[in-house]
Structure 1
Amino acid sequence: MTPSTLITLGLAVSAVFIFWTMSSTSSSPFTNAFPRLYNKRICLLIAHPDDEAMFFAPTVLALTKPEYGNHLKILCLSSGDADGLGHIRKKELVKSAMQLGLRNESDVYVVDDPSRFPDSMTAHWSENDVADVLATAFTPEASDSSRSRKKSTKATPPTASIDVILTFDKSGISNHPNHRSLYHGAIHFIRSLMKDKTGYTCPITLYTLTTTNILRKYAGILDAPLTMVQGAWNSIRSAGTSRSSKGQLPSRLLFVSSINEWLTAQSAMVKAHQSQMVWFRWGWITIGRYMAVNDLQAEKI
């Protein structure tokens, strides 16, 4: 390379690093401009071990920061045993989760039940089954209150042991039927929780990860400005049509990882999910948008 080429390359690399630093929601000068969750009990609902790193790493890395006071747990509805590696992948999930900032290994739970939740590109999971798992895990008193209502017509406020559920949207990012099943199951769970609860506020907010087109999906960090502009515009529109009540959570969340956070997500895939690092995943973790940028919206149910 000629000296001028090296200088041009160096300037380009420097520009990318400066741009990345300015875009990051955790290290840029504009950090405080982005909505956050504080002191919340959060469940990340995923379908397979590695979903937490491949799709939700920016969110997990942000929400597990000690200064925010959140307690995030991962509920995974399959061991990812399509290739007979479920016993390995469950351990990889725990290792990855700890690298991404979870407090304890016990905060990761895998439902290993292939009869209900098979790891398959063709299987749609029952929304009732997904909702039942969520109800058992986070609203254990629901069945008792349901029985008590037979003796009393007075409705009681809905309760839950978590404040927030994070999961895929109805398109599932990759259109995987297992991913899409989580969305429908989570919606069904919350609707069931609020059945006959007119006048009460739902104790759980459901956030779903936004699916983008294929060009944006592989734009990596370069997708951050467009996501930020869209988020700001949507916030302005929603502010004009609705009023926020005291204690209401943000309608949208945006997380853009810093370079160090992106490297941590890379490590979670490469070092923890070693069984999954086939050739095409190297492309995903290098230029995939979801390794660096996450935007989620609160579902209106």
Structure 2
Amino acid sequence: MAWLVVALSLIVIWIASIFKVFFGATSSSNAAVLDNGNKKNVLFVIAHPDDESMFFSPTINYLASNAYNLHMLCFSTGNADGMGSIRKDELHRACAVLRDGFGQVWSHDLLAKIIDEEVSNHDIHTIITFDNYGVSGHCNHRDVHHAVLKFLQTNSERNIKAWELASLNIFRKYSGPIDIWLSLLSSKSHPSKAIILNEQPWKSYEAMAQHLSQWVWFRKLFVSFSSYTYANTLDRINP
């Protein structure tokens, strides 16, 4: 009997969380801390095609709906399994769903230099990337974080804002929309955090579906149950 009460409670919380996402996302998000005046050019620095869909879609949807100019710099073609050209095309299609742009792919020894070139070419004002753990602990996610840090250290005079996507523990990571309550509670004690609720979570699903070579059953489950589909917590990297 106890398990039934727990199950029903989780279902009720899940439904309440979904309603919060669909009907209270705008009023609950404190994404305004991302505002940089009239400086609207934002660069996402990611490691692999599909990172934008799996992890950053709440932020991308928010910025796109508020007339930001979005650029995507992906540091690999996803060619570990020999499907690099396919995955580049899939990234283009996913970006079309999420309404962002596409930069160039990487040379590992020149990460910071490539970021510098992208920032200069597109007059970038804000950079968004992974944090030091990289959500999943993937070494490439962590590499792009350190590349952004290196760029910031050598370009401090350019006054570019940089934000990192907060990595969550395993429970929060797979709690789906339920985690939005913990994220919002965290923002009360840390007002400098940007908590962005996804008003269009189905777009995460649509965008990930553009990566057909990766759209296998466990990634479908990930997008459905990952808290990153429903909310992003961004921490400021530089002051």
Residues 225, 188 of structure 1: CA spacing in aligned structure 2 closer, same or farther, 3 A cutoff?
same
Name the aligned partner's letter for residue 224 of structure 1: I
User: 2: CA distance between counterparts of 1:29 and 1:286?
Assistant: 18
1:83-98 to 2 correspondence within 5 Å? 83-98=81-96
* 1:139 Cα deviation from its structure 2 partner: 3.0
| CA distance in structure 2 between the partners assigned to 1:190 and 1:85 by the alignment | 32
Alpha-carbon displacement from aligned partner over 1:134-180 (angstroms, at most 9, x marks no partner): 1122236xxxxxxxxxxxxxxxxxxx811100000000111111100
**2:17 is matched with which residue: 15, 19, 40?**
19
Residue of 132, 140, 150 corresponding to 1:188: 150
How many residues matched? 230
**In the alignment, which of 205, 213, 225 is matched to residue 169 of structure 2?**
213
CA separation of 1:178/1:41 partners in 2, compared to 1, >3 Å: closer, same or farther?
A: same
Aligned equivalent of 2:227, options 289, 292, 301: 289
Q: Report the equivalent of 1:133.
A: 114
Q: Pick from 191, 215, 233: which aligns with 1:277?
A: 215
Task: Specify the structure having the higher radius of gyration (Cα).
Answer: 1
Structure 2: which amino acid aligns with 1:268? A
CA drift of 1:264 comes to: 1.3
Q: 1:52 aligns to what?
A: 52
Q: CA deviation digits over 1:41-61, x for unaligned, max 9?
A: 100111110000001011111
Question: Which residue, out of 202, 219, 222, partners 2:178?
Answer: 222
SS of the aligned residue for 2:31 comes to coil
Q: TM-score, normalized by length of structure 2?
A: 0.87
Q: Which runs of 5+ in 1 are unaligned?
A: 118-125, 141-159, 236-250
Kept in 2: contact 1:220–1:293 (CA 8 A): no
| Cα offset, 1:30, TM superposition | 6.0
Residues 73-106 of structure 1, C-alpha deviations (whole Å, 9 max, x = no match): 111111111111110111110110110122xxxx
Q: Is the 8 A contact 1:43 1:162 kept in 2?
A: yes
Is 2:17–2:180's contact at 8 Å kept on the other side of the alignment? Answer: no
Question: Which protein, 1 or 2, shows the higher relative CO under an 8 Å CA cutoff with sep ≥ 6?
Answer: 2
1:267 aligns with 2:229: no
Contact 2:161-2:238 at 8 Å conserved across structures: no
8 Å contact kept, 1:20–1:221 = yes
- Aligned CA-pair RMSD: 2.4
1:299 counterpart = 2:237:
yes
Identity of aligned residues (%): 30
Cα distance between partner residues in 2 of 1:190 and 1:12? 43
Post-superposition shift, 1:29?
Answer: 7.4
- Residues 1:99 and 2:94 aligned together: no
The residue that corresponds to 1:34 in the other structure is 30
